[in-house]
Structure 1
Amino acid sequence: MSKGSVRKLAVPPISMNEEPQEKEKAICGQCSAEFEKRRRNQKFCSDACRKNAHQKRDGKENPRNSLMSPSKRRENELFFDTNRRIAEDIYTRPPCERFDYVAGMIEAARSGHGKLRALLMNKLLLFPDYDMRGLFHRNCPAAYLTTSQIASVFCGLAWKAEQSVVTIYI
């Protein structure tokens, strides 16, 4: 535009005499709450619902699992390697030291060590498929337990807790 030219507005200004139009109501596509649209094409009641819907849709199109995601594959490898290392640490100790070691491990999980807690409560490690030999110390499911199973047995012995109650203690 040249200096001094006037720009024409595409939408005529609203006069003071006109009443404002009622906003259109809609149902949120994520949480099903009713809301007033701020734009004609608005589908969600808030930014949080819009982002959650996108993440849910993106998760279906691009699943974050070990098969599809190298970063998730690496994360899972580290998780299960940690299980094997802790099991090795337990089984290489003399039997008289194992009880105290497991007690310390459970206490650390209870006091806020999130990764250790996730390891001890992992369902795949608590109820393993015995054909997945890599979950066990020395790849031997017949002779060894997973770290989660060791912690579960410890809770049963130390607190005389049933299997269903053990996860509450950890």
Structure 2
Amino acid sequence: MATRILDALKTKGTHEVGNLSSWKVKTVANGAIVDATPIDNFLLVELGFNVEGERTCKVLSDVTKKSYLIAAQERRFMNEELVDFYNAVGERARIVVLEPEYTRFDTSAFTLNTGVAEVKNGLVAHFDPTTKKYILSSEGSPHADYAKAKAKFLVVADEDDLEYTVGKALVKLEVQEA
């Protein structure tokens, strides 16, 4: 006989994963409450306020808006894998301020632009609010939205350069513009 709990224990998560790799990062004081829909870690968010005056966050809606990185700390209680974690609506999350040429992070939320066959150092990237992924492009022919994106990134490593993986392919991005 099956149970909902047993199914939950056997089902592997599909959430995006990542890792902060800057020595120190600046964070928004007291974080922000996830508003409207759940958000995977290491995506870009925009900030706002609710009716009580508390800071809120939601997935970035437009590449021209100021953005921040959601990077809540995972607390494991039952040996969960990192792909099982996400930021639920109503939870307070850690929000990282993007600093050019300093903030670096790994993320599994990426896709390759047309004409890019493999992840390699020197590619450029921006966050696509529609797919909720970073689009990696060659510097010579970036994605159409790259030029107008407020937050721009440089690929500085791929999974082959990392000492470990977290269940998904990762790419390391460095903030170039914020």
Verify same fold: TM over 0.5. no
Please give the TM-score of this superposition, normalised by the length of structure 1.
0.22
Question: Where is the helix percentage greater, Structure 1 or Structure 2?
Answer: 1
Highest relative contact order (Cα 8 Å, sep 6+), 1 or 2?
2
Q: Which structure has the larger Rg?
A: 1
Question: Where is the strand percentage greater, Structure 1 or Structure 2?
Answer: 2
